Structure 1
């Protein structure tokens, strides 16, 4: 898609699936055919939060996803550490410089070796502007097989501003779309009960509005807390809201 047409498409995307399919295709047109997008809104001073609550989108192979994400290698990835302390874009040339200077830790070297085995060695990382101290989003753009970092750097020199804008708008759009993390699925009744809590209704009010007993409402709220892995209903409302799971317009 042409630049203007793509920005228009992003603005009106209705789902993460629709957006991500188009975004991976658009980035491939510039030589980046393997992407990982990640965002957390539960970051603390010592943690990125529960990985189950991350918004993760990727078109990498399952082998790469299993090793990098599910086995926790991401936590020690040099470019992720860069993204946590910076905003904007950075060439993966930084990793080569760290290798030459022998400044990689043992954990970072394991990530480097894992990436090298699976051909994830050339690319760029974009770190997005945070909207709060608890949130952080970034995207890893891995170059197509056979390309060199010099070639990708040249592409970025020519198209970097457009690439930054496309990825930033994609990020902002992702933040506005509903996301249901694995093992965090709410039923329609659980969501409805949380929505009424968000509107300030009491359990007795919700029972009348939903045509249920107070005990059944309490059950729905308890199951919602369990599904979202939180201790209080207020936390459940917050987490569901942050993932745009409440007051969602049905397609």
Structure 2
């Protein structure tokens, strides 16, 4: 019955924040007080691969995440290298074995030291792989501060299957919701002109549809390209669609640009935080036919 309620709540969520808060609260009830979700979207074409729209959500304490960010160690968090190469789940014992054998890279060891200094000495990693097209994602989670790995293992033995199922549902749902850092958020007008361009309207037609001057339409397109970091309008449409910023269902639109939101690494209530594009799971070169294919 609880799983049914969770499924209903996850499917009913209309924002990444609401979904994340429910997920974290449910995991805390199961004994996993801290969780960190990381994903990156890979857009692949015949000529290039763009790593775009990195997302980090965390319920770990703010001071811990801020210290990792200050030392540029977010990508070296415990079990990160395992997540980059695996699906399924694994305990932090894997990392500890590598550490004792002297095989833990310096950056990962520095990140692990920060976790341990703040009392986080045990955990699990859940690799979500490519369950959603073009998205590579994973989770790191742990129990209460000071909880040993053997104690967390007992919780996992009781609730691990539920945690994995909830994590998979959360990941699938969050991939459909708008999630962008404040500096990349589009205004309503910017979304409208991108949508109109995407369905084939000219600048003159858009001006008539939206009761604007053509020069104003061009201004909104220029600002949309800048906000998205796009070189062309075509690339802006691609990025906006990938980030779920245009063509959204009713009730799913992100807050307008300029709305006050806290900056930096989001923790505690754990609102979405957009990382630098590409600052996540490693992707190889695009595959496909050779130059004569």
TM-score of the aligned structures, taking structure 2 as reference length: 0.78
Could you tell me which residue of structure 2 aligns to residue 154 of structure 1? Answer: 154
Could you tell me which residue of structure 1 aligns to residue 208 of structure 2? Answer: 208
Query: Partners in 2 of 1:16 and 1:132 — Cα distance?
Result: 16
Could you tell me which residue of structure 2 aligns to residue 56 of structure 1? Answer: 56
State the Cα deviation string for residues 192-212 of structure 1 (Å, max 9, x = none): 111112212222222222122
Trace 1:64-75 onto structure 2 (pairs within 5 A).
Answer: 64-69=64-69, 71-75=71-75
Could you tell me which residue of structure 2 aligns to residue 114 of structure 1? Answer: 114
> Is the CA contact (8 Å cut-off) linking 1:33 and 1:143 kept in structure 2?
yes
Could you tell me which residue of structure 2 aligns to residue 172 of structure 1? Answer: 172
Residue 132 of structure 1, CA deviation: 7.1
SS state of the match for residue 171, structure 1?
helix
Could you tell me which residue of structure 1 aligns to residue 262 of structure 2? Answer: none
Structure 2's unaligned 5+ residue stretches are 252-293
State the Cα deviation string for residues 111-158 of structure 1 (Å, max 9, x = none): 111111122221111111315785311111121123211121222223
Query: Partners in 2 of 1:81 and 1:200 — Cα distance?
Result: 44
Could you tell me which residue of structure 2 aligns to residue 184 of structure 1? Answer: 184
Considering Cα pairs closer than 8 Å and 6+ residues apart, tell me whether 1 or 2 has the greater RCO. 2
SS state of the match for residue 136, structure 1?
strand
> Is the CA contact (8 Å cut-off) linking 1:24 and 1:35 kept in structure 2?
yes
2:231 is the counterpart of 1:235: no
What is the RMSD computed on CA atoms of the aligned residues?
A: 2.2
State the Cα deviation string for residues 87-129 of structure 1 (Å, max 9, x = none): 1111111111111111012212111111111222211111113
Query: Partners in 1 of 2:164 and 2:13 — Cα distance?
Result: 19
Structure 1's unaligned 5+ residue stretches are none
> Is the CA contact (8 Å cut-off) linking 1:43 and 1:136 kept in structure 2?
no
Could you tell me which residue of structure 1 aligns to residue 225 of structure 2? Answer: 225
TM-score of the aligned structures, taking structure 1 as reference length: 0.90
> Is the CA contact (8 Å cut-off) linking 2:121 and 2:147 kept in structure 1?
no
Q: 1:58–1:48: structure 2 CA closer, same or farther, 3 Å change rule? A: farther
Greater fraction of residues in helix:
1
Could you tell me which residue of structure 2 aligns to residue 23 of structure 1? Answer: 23
